[in-house]
Amino acid sequence: MVKCIATDMDGTLLNSMQQISEENKRAILKAQSQGVEVVVATGRSYQEASYVLDEVGLKCPVICVNGAEVRAQSGEILSATPIPNKLAREVAARLAEKDVYYEVYTNKGAFTIDLKKAVSILVDIVVSANPEMDPKVVEEQAGARVSDGLIHIIEDYEHIFSNEEYQIYKFLAFSFDLDQLGKAQDSLKDLTELEVTKSGIENIEITHRNAQKGIALEAFAKAKGISLEDTVAIGDNFNDVSMFNKAGRAIAMGNASFEIKALCDEVTDTNDNSGVGKAILDLL
């Protein structure tokens, strides 16, 4: 019997317009009405995840920044697994040495030191996936990420690294030069306290090794008295693999790669065809 469903956001719960479809929303509400825990498990910060959920009036527990932070449905922080500040400085130095752009995710939101690059990268990613979209419109939407407080501009990341008020959850590094990105990833291999994964071809996500979606899902289920056999994980990329490995059933999106589909028990429809909603209704 399914008692807990964990769903990724980007490429999974969200369509290519970065929205939750009405079909997905209805399915989640139906599952919740039947007592099923529906948990959002995302690489996004809590602020970014809740922003999208609030747009359609959904309330869910959230496994944020790949498991570095877990929030209750009320928004209360249940757990946090940050990267130690000294180690964060080392990560930043190695990414900078490889000339790879990165953003830093913290308990106070996401930060960038290069707004122009942050916006241009988002535009390139969205337009490449949706060539029919007007780049100017996408740029306005990307700029709204700043105006709505979803990413903050900072002059120097050292302000974060040296301030005890900030917990450093994740580095999100981007490069359209895949060779350069690979070199940056290779440079981190000896830092065994870290987990390095991907949520897209052009990025790497760096968290503490205990900050993984699967570890967070296991802890969440245990706290709720739910057996992992009664959990389901839905996702589309490599940062979802840890929860695929933990859940009783793993479901890949129709838009996932062959490698991801091969790791799962079944495949649902694509994110643009409300694959999450269809999977949930099938489970119910």
> By C-alpha distance, which of 220, 224, 193 is closest to 206?
193
Radius of gyration of the chain (CA): 18
254: pLDDT confidence band, cut at 50, 70 and 90?
A: very high
Q: What SS3 class is residue 280? A: helix
Burial class of residue 28 (count of CB atoms within 10 Å of its CB; 0-12, 13-18, 19+): buried
What are the structural domains of the chain? 4-81+212-283 (3.40.50.1000), 85-208 (3.30.1240.10)
Distance, CA of 130 to CA of 155 (rounded, Å):
32
Q: What SS3 class is residue 109? A: strand
**What DSSP string runs through 126-162?**
HHHH-TTS-HHHHHHHHHHHHHTTSEEE-S-THHHHT
Distance, CA of 226 to CA of 249 (rounded, Å):
14
Q: What SS3 class is residue 83? A: strand
Distance, CA of 97 to CA of 100 (rounded, Å):
8
Residue scoring higher pLDDT (241 or 127): 241
**What DSSP string runs through 162-173?**
T-TT--EEEEEE
Region 160-179: mean pLDDT is 92
Sheet holding 101-106, edge to edge: 151-153, 109-112, 101-106, 168-174, 203-208, 194-197
131: pLDDT confidence band, cut at 50, 70 and 90?
A: low
Region 36-46: mean pLDDT is 94
pLDDT for 6 equals 98
CB 37 within 8 A of CB 61: yes
CB 277 within 8 A of CB 247: no
Give pLDDT tens digits for 92-126. 999 999 999 999 999 988 899 988 887 776 676 66
pLDDT exceeds cutoff 90 at 203: no
The active-site residue out of 8, 10, 236, 240 is 8
Is 236 annotated in the active site?
no
> By C-alpha distance, which of 122, 125, 127, 181 is closest to 150?
122
Q: What SS3 class is residue 69? A: strand
Residue scoring higher pLDDT (136 or 245): 245
pLDDT for 147 equals 59
CB 66 within 8 A of CB 32: no
**What DSSP string runs through 182-201?**
HHHHHTTTT-TTEEEE-SST
Segments in the chain forming alpha helices (H) = 22-33, 46-55, 85-97, 115-129, 135-147, 158-161, 178-186, 213-223, 241-246, 258-263, 275-283
55: pLDDT confidence band, cut at 50, 70 and 90?
A: very high
Region 49-75: mean pLDDT is 95
Region 240-267: mean pLDDT is 96
What's the mean pLDDT when you consider all of the chain? 91
pLDDT for 127 equals 63
